[in-house]
Structure formats: structure tokens, C-alpha cells
A and B are shown apart, each in its own frame.
Chain A
């Protein structure tokens, strides 16, 4: 560890106290750690990350009211890692469970740095529970962070009992040079269906190490979509385990990266049961000096016969200096599976651009139209119609 790394590391281990062991002994991952090769964390080393202080209730209220959220059945607000009870409400069908100690890393996320960091510095988040056979509608969760040199480590859990349904819009935003490290543990019991939409709109100076671990039971469905568009360095890590037969997961994402920022979507889709399906479409638009990272692994156990997996990642480079690093991985132990994957990286099509311009459309608007068209097909994978409209409005050049 370098001299410089001491600041971040000492602060984080100091705050973790007895739990510091959960962080490991290696310091923040460098380029030499394979999982972090394209997203090394050295830039976080120089800051002695402190616990984020509470924000004024009036400030939080104002920020949340300014969000233009879609119509929802429940709202949960967190500000600087703390629950804002007075701004939150849930439908009657749901109960918020008492938050226990829960310091252990869940086995699904073992060995993953973001999960270790969260376990070491864990702050109680939402504990959502949808009873069997209930459709809890659309719940919005807002996590606001403000400040410099501060970090938050919220831990949420979302449990859907048999046949339960929920759509969760997870909105993350803030101002300042902070670090957020949220973890969401998801459990979809048999036939349960969770649509989880993450809108990552963090401050352009912020770092973010987010991780989701989802287990899906028989005929269950964990359908996730991430709009990655903020943060100077932001990883969204999604680990899903299809643990019951005939279950499905979607791990879709859009990444919009400009400036000198980096967005990362890393996923692990584990087919641990036969007859399961997984679908993944990740599209990135990179401009200026923006960097995109996609690491997508599909693991198919020997037992997981009749697996049907599809993975596609495509990137649009809008400048000479923009960069995309893609690492798809298939690890298959079953012999009767259908797994396809593909990757493309390219610039905007000159013929399409000329066609639009020859019809009188200004060059910049023509570019925006083509970028939006590239992203549209991915947004259309979101089932919830009002959320699709909401997400489309967050894209560049929307009409």
C-alpha cells in the first residue's frame, strides 16, 4: 500500500472497528485485481472518508419534491445514509421489518469488495417485505447524498414471498465529492416478481460502489434495469442466482458517460437450476473522455440443463478519446444449454446522420436522435409503462 492509500484505508478501517476484517487486508482494489482491472480505485485513496452527517430535513424535503417522480404507491427517502421517516410512506400491504444486526456478508456476494465494504460499515436501510400473493405496486426509494469526503453504506433488503409482486424504482443522486456504497439483498420466493429499476444520477464528482445480490426461486423473476449516468467513478454490480427451476432474470442497463468519468456495469448471472432463462442487454454511450466498462459473466452449473441465456453489449463512441472496455465471460458446465452473447463498439453511422441532415435536421439534433434511438430499445425492455416514460425523459435529446 502506498503512502497515499493510508488516508482512505485508515479512515475506513478505523470506522469499521471490529469489522475491519471484512474489508480484507489488501487495501482498495488496484488494476492488479482482475475484477477491478478496468475500474481501479486508487483515485479514492487520498481521502479520509468520514461518516456523512445528517442533512437538514427541510433541505431533503425540497430536493425530493424537485424530482418529478412518477406516480407511486410508496416512497422511502434516505439522506446521507439515514432514513427520513417523515418523508416516507408505504402501502398498507407492506410491512417494514425491524432492522437486525446483519453484519455478515451474504454468501452470494462473498469475496466481492463492494459487499465487504458495505458489511464493514453497514448502515440500516430499507427492509421491504411483500407478503405472499400481494402486488405492492410501485415503490420509489430515493437516496440523497450531499457533502465532500463523506461516505454512506446503506444496506437494504427486499423480500418477496411466494407469488408477490413489486416494482422498485431506486433513485440515487447528490452533490459533492462523496462515496456511496449501497447494497441491496433481494430474495424472490417461488413465482415472485421484482422489477428493480436503478436510476444512478450521482454527483459527477462522486464515487459509487453499488452491489445487488438477488436469489430467485422457482418460476420467480428478478428483472433489473440500471440507468448509469452519474458519478466520476461508478460501478453497479449485479449478482443474481437462479436457484429454482423455470426462473428468469434480466440484467439490463444503459450507461451514459461524458467528461472524464467512468461508469461500470459488472454482473454475474448464475444459473444454478435447470430450465431457467436470463436476458441481458447493456448499451453504453461514451462521449468526450468518458470510459465505459462492462463485465458480464454467465455461470451455468452442471445441474442447470436447458439453460437459455442471452447477453448483448453494445457501445457507441461519440469522440476519439472515449473508451469502452468489455469483458463477457461464459462458464458453462451443463451440456444441454443455449447461451449466446455478442458485443459491438462503434461510432454513429455516417449514412444515417447524412440522411437526417439532408432532411433539414441540425447536426447536433440528428446526433441526439440517433443516440436516443440506440438507447430506446433498451428502455423498452422496462415493463412498467410510466417508468419507461420517466426514464426516456432522463435520456439526452428527448423530444
Chain B
């Protein structure tokens, strides 16, 4: 099965003050096993919507097409079932969870996923050991495990906390929704290293970004240009460089 993630003719809409607004307008995308693909596109092209639809957010209504992952109909699954299957979304703006301790949250999530995958659950001691190793790897202070999830975290800390979750949950498909936004160059390197460390024959990733900068650190196998709810161009890593230099104009004109 070389087609790990296969999206065909995907259409999705959101309710905008009572009127349905179509955002994905027949999107096709295939990511083979072990590959990292990037999606670049102007604001409003539907990049974040794609990531939410793949993760199972309920406010988007899928009106056509399909999305399969590891041969399963992704759109039929609950968000937690998708997580167990290996889908992970690193959020662009992670929510704060006041009153939910970060370490407890991480352990609950890790054990929920392990249980669903038929693996043994981790006890508190072995989990904490693992979490401490991972936080230091990401240059995160151990204090962040004791705080409420994302509460009072800086933008950079929130993104690192996303990468921490990704490392702990060991996904086979990581979707990074503008994980680079708001990061300084050091944080960007750490985040990229977190993703690269997971790369391998069983790990695929969809990196959504505005900037070529992140793709200097996470070098993609393919780059897709998205506009108006569709993929309008696909190519190698050189597409990112071209976009950085010349902008989206030529692709938009070619697609029109």
C-alpha cells in the first residue's frame, strides 16, 4: 500500500452565519508512506480547513469526495479513533485548558492511544521519565509539565508543547498547521528537529506553511500549491523556493 493518505475530490463547507460556505472545492492529494509533503498557499485558500477536516472537527460538513488513511475511510471515524489510527494535528492556535494539568493530560492521551493500539499503558513513573526526556530534548522547562495545558504559555511554548505531544503519541501521519508561525529561529530549529526525528519508512507528514523558511529545516519530498480550495500545482522542493521568490501569482494565473 504505497498510498498512505489518499484524498479524492474532497469538498467541505462551514456554516457562516446561517449560509453554508464552501471552502474545499474538490481537493485531490496523495501522500505515500514515509514521505513528507508541504502545502503552501495564500490566506483563505483552505489549508487550515483541510487539516481540521482530516482531524475530524465537527463544525465542517463534508459534502463530497473521500479521504482514506491506511485503507480506512477517515471521514467515518471519530477524532479519537483517527488519533488511535495515527493521525496527529499540531494546531495553529492550541487552546488553553485551565484546570487540566499538562502532565496528567499528556499521560491520559498517551495511554488512551496506547490502549486503542493494543499496547500496554504506562504507569505514572515510567510516563514521567519519558516525558522528562522529551521535554529536555525540546529544550522545554520541566515546569511546563506541572502547569495547566497551554495556560500562560508563550506562542513558542505552545508550539513546543504540540511537538511534545506529537513525539509522545508517535503518529504515522503528522499534520502541522503553520507550526512555524510565531517562532524565532532557535525554536524553529527545535520544532523541525522534533519532526525530522520521527521521519522514517512508517511516518508521513503534511506540513502546512506560509513560508519557505520551515522547509529549509524540514525538507519535503513534494510541495503542493493550494488556492481556492484545491491543489493547483505540485512539484519538488524547488517549488517552495520559487514561491518565495516570485509569489503565488504565476500559479494562480496558470490555474485560472
Contact = CB atoms under 8 A, between A and B. Distances in A.
Interface string A338-367: 000000000001111011111111110110
Interface residues of A, number: 25
Nearest to A375: B99
A399 interface: yes
B102 to A, nearest CB: 12
Interface stretch (B22-30, B53-61, B180-188): B53-61
A53 B116 CA distance: 53
Contact of B79 (A349, A351, A358, A365): A358
Most buried by B among A349, A350, A357: A357
A365 B108 contact: yes
Contacts of B80: 357-358, 360-363, 366
Interface residues of B, number: 30
Nearest to A361: B112
A295 interface: no
Q: Is the interface of A mostly helix, strand, loop or mixed?
A: helix
A349 B96 CA distance: 11
A109 interface: no
B84 A360 contact: yes
Contacts of A7: none
B252 interface: no
A260 B250 CA distance: 64
A356 B100 CA distance: 11
A249 to B, nearest CB: 25
Interface stretch (B10-18, B87-95, B206-214, B226-234): B87-95
Which of B58, B82, B97, B165 gathers the greatest number of chain A CB atoms within 10 Å? B97
A16 interface: no
Contacts of B94: 355
B109 interface: yes
B109 A374 contact: no
A395 to B, nearest CB: 11
A349 B89 CA distance: 19
B98 interface: yes
A377 B104 CA distance: 16
A352 B95 contact: yes
Interface in A20-48: none
A359 B109 contact: yes
Contact of A360 (B100, B104, B169): B169
10 contacts: A349-B95, A351-B95, A352-B97, A354-B57, A354-B58, A358-B79, A360-B84, A360-B109, A361-B108, A373-B99
Interface of B: 55-59, 78-80, 82-84, 88-89, 91, 94-95, 97-100, 104-105, 108-109, 112-113, 116, 148, 165, 169
